[in-house]
Structure 1
Amino acid sequence: MIVAGAAVQGTAHLAAGQGCQDAFKAVDLGNAAVLAVSDGAGSRDRSALGAHIAVDAACRLLAEDVPGAEETPEAWTRWTAGRGRRVVEEYLRAVSGVLGTETGVPGAETGLPGTETRLLSTETRLPGTETGAGDPGALAATLTAAVVAPPWAAFVSLGDGFGTLLTRDDRCHLVLPPPAAPAAFLSSPGAALRVRTFVVWEPELDGVVLATDGCAALTLDHPDSRQLPPECGPLPSERFFLGLAATLRENHGDAEPLRRGLSGPDAARTGDDLTVLCALVEGR
C-alpha cells in the first residue's frame, strides 16, 4: 500500500491564533491499511485533543481481526458494524480518562448478531452538558475511517467527513458523501447508534481517499459542472483525486505535494482546517 496524508491549518484558524484541530492516522498492515481522519469541533474546548483520541481509537480497533479477502459480505458487514460501535465506546473511555470523569452508563440494545448488545451513552457525566441533552463541552470530534483490504473497503463514519473510492479504470466514486444533517460528534448522546458503517466490494479497487469537511470546496464538484441536476449531489473532482493518485505513485508516497496543494489559494476559500489521507493499491 502507498499511504500518505497531510493536515493543514485553515486560514481562519491561523488569523484567530487557533491551531489545527484536525487529526489523521494510518496503519499499514501490508496487504491492507487502516485510515482515520477527525475534525475537532472548533467551538469546543480541547477539540484538537479529541480529534487525536478519535483517530487513535479508530486505528487501534480497526486494525484488529480484519476479515480476509475470501470472507462473505455478511462477515464483513457484521465486523464493520461491531467495530464502529466499539470505536465510540473506546473514544468515550479515553475521554473519561483525560477529564477524570465517567462517560456514560450501559444502554441501548442493538439486537445485531455478532456485536456487543450494551452501548455507552453520554448523559450528565462530562462537563458542559445538561441531563440527556447537548454535546460534551470538551474534546468533541467527528470521525471518518476506512479499512482498505482489496477487493474490500469498509467505512466507519460519524460527522461531516467524506470518502472517495478510486478504481483501476481511472474513475473516482464518492461512496461516503458529507451528510446533509448537522454534524454529530463521537461524544453526542446516542453516538454509537448514529455511526454510519458499510462495506464495498470492488474487484478493481485502486485506492481510498478520506477528507475532512474543510476540503469539500477543493475536492468536490457541483453537479451543474457536468450538466447534471442539483439532486445528484456533490461529485468527486477527478482532477483532484486522479491527480493526487498519479502524483503519489510517481513519488512513492511523498506527501509534500499534497501538503502544498492543501496550502494553496484554492484550498483557502473556506478558512477551515483541511486534512486528506489516502491508501493506494501498489502493483497496478
Structure 2
Amino acid sequence: MIIAGASVQGTAHLAIGQGCQDAFKAVDLGDAAVLAVSDGAGSRDRSALGAHIAVDAACRLLAEDIPGAEEPPEAWTRWIAGRGRRVVEEYLRAVSGVLGTDPCAGTDPGSGPDSGPDSGPGPDPGPGHSGALAATLTAAVVAPPWVAFVSLGDGFGTLLTRDDRCHLVLPPPTAPAPFLSSPGAALRVRTFVVWEPELSGVVLATDGCAALTLDHPSVRQLPLEAGPLPAERFFLGLAATLRENHGDAEPLRSRLSGPEAARTGDDLTLLCALVEGG
C-alpha cells in the first residue's frame, strides 16, 4: 500500500489564532491498511484532543481480527458493525478518563442530532458533563477487494478503481451530523462494506475538503438530486502523483493549502491508501 495524508489549518482558524482541530492516522498492515480522519468541533474545548483520541481508537480496534478476503459479505458486515460500536465505546471511555466523567452517561448532551459540528456550543451540558473533546470520525479498513467503513459525522469517502473512475461511496450527510460524544452515538454510527475487485485506492476526507474534491452535479449536466460527485481530475491526479513519488505527501499538502482549498476557511484533512500496482 502507498499511504499518504495531510492536515492543513483552515484560513478562518488561522485568522483567529485557532490551531488545526482535525486529526488523521493510518496503520499499514502490509496486505491491508486502516485509515481514520476526524474533525474536532471548533466550538468545543479541546476538540483537537478529541479528534486525536478518535483516530487512535479507530486505528487500534479496526486493525484487530480483520476477516480474510475469502470471507463472505455477512462476515465482513457483522465484523465492521461490531467494531464500529466498540470504537465509539472506546472513544467515550478515553474521553471520560480525561474529563473525569462517567462514560455510561455520555459526555456531550449539547451535541445531539440537531447540532452539527459547527453549529455552536449548544445548550449547557449540565453538572458532571462537558462539551469538551467533541469530534467526528470517518474510518476505513482497506483489504482488497474489501473496504469496510465506519462513520459518524460529516466526513466522506471515495473509491478509486483501475479503470480510472471515482466512486463517492460515503457522501457527506445532508443533515447536521452527531459527534462521537452525542447520546446514542454507538447506535447511530454508520458501518458498511464494499466489495470492489478493481480497487486501486481509497480516500477519506473531512468536510473542509468538500469544495476542493467534490463537484456540484450541474458540472456534469446532472440534476440536483444526483448529489455531490467526486472531482475526478483532483482524485486521479493526486493518485498519479503519489504513485510517481512513492507516497511523498508534500504535493497533497500543497493542494490542501492552495487558494481554491481556502474557500470554506475550515481545516482540511485528506488521507488515502493506494493499492500497489493499481
The equivalent residue for 1:139 is: 133
Question: Residue deviations 1:244-280, cap 9 Å, x none?
Answer: 1000000000000000000000000000000000000
Aligned to 1:157: 151
Aligned amino acid, residue 129 of structure 1? P
Q: Is contact 2:108–2:125 with CA below 8 Å preserved after alignment? A: yes
The counterpart of 1:249, out of the listed 243, 248, 261, is: 243
**Change over 3 Å in CA distance of 1:214–1:203 after alignment to 2:** same
Asked if 2 retains the 8 angstrom alpha-carbon contact of 1:164 and 1:174, the reply is yes
- CA displacement at 1:101 relative to structure 2: 1.6
Measure the CA separation in 1 of the matches of 2:126 and 2:142.
39
State how 1:63-102 maps to structure 2 within 5 Å: 63-102=63-102
Which of the numbers 157, 182, 187 marks the counterpart of 1:193? 187
Residues 124-143 of structure 1 deviation map (CA, whole Å, 9 limit, x = unaligned): 7xx95149xxx941000000
Relative to the length of structure 2, the TM-score reads 0.92
Tell me the CA shift for residue 214 of structure 1.
Answer: 0.3
SS in structure 1 at match of 2:178: coil
Q: Match of 2:164, as an amino acid? A: D
Q: Provide the C-alpha distance between the structure 2 equivalents of 1:236 and 1:123, rounded to a whole number of angstroms.
A: 33
Q: Give the Cα–Cα distance (whole angstroms) in 2 for the partners of residues 12 and 145 of structure 1.
A: 26
- Letter of the structure 2 residue corresponding to residue 2 of structure 1: I
Aligned to 1:21: 21
Identity %: 87
Give a deviation string over 1:189-222, Cα, whole Å, max 9, x none.
0001110100000000111000000000000000
Give the secondary-structure state (helix, strand or coil) at the position aligned to 2:91. Answer: helix
Rounded to whole Å, the distance in 2 between the matches of 1:3 and 1:64 is 19
What letter is aligned with 1:145? Answer: A
C-alpha separation in 1, matches of 2:10 and 2:107: 30
SS of aligned partner of 2:260: helix
What corresponds to 1:229 in structure 2? 223
Matches within 5 A, 1:1-284: 1-104=1-104, 121=106, 129-130=125-126, 136-284=130-278
Equivalents in 1 of 2:214, 2:187: separation in Å?
Answer: 28
Structure 2: 5+ residue runs without aligned partners?
110-122
Structure 1 length-normalised TM: 0.91
For 1:40 and 1:189, how far apart are their aligned partners in 2?
17
CA contact 2:154–2:177 (8 Å) conserved in 1: yes
Secondary structure of 1:23 counterpart = strand
Matched to 1:5, the amino acid is G
Output the amino acid matched with 2:177: A
Measure how far apart 1:226 and its partner are: 0.2
- RMSD across aligned positions (CA): 1.5
Q: Tell me the SS of whatever aligns to 1:265.
A: coil
Partners of 1:53 and 1:181 in 2: CA distance: 25
CA-to-aligned-CA distance 1:150-195 (integer Å, 9 cap, x gap): 0000000000000000000000000000011102100000001110
Structure 1, residues 18-58: CA drift from partner, whole Å, max 9, x if none? Answer: 00000000000000000000000000000000000000000
**Distance of 2:264 and 2:141 partners within structure 1:** 29
Query: What amino acid is aligned across from residue 91 of structure 1 in structure 2?
Result: Y
Q: Distance in 1 between matches of 2:198 and 2:161?
A: 5
Alpha-carbon contact 2:101-2:107 (below 8 Å) kept? no
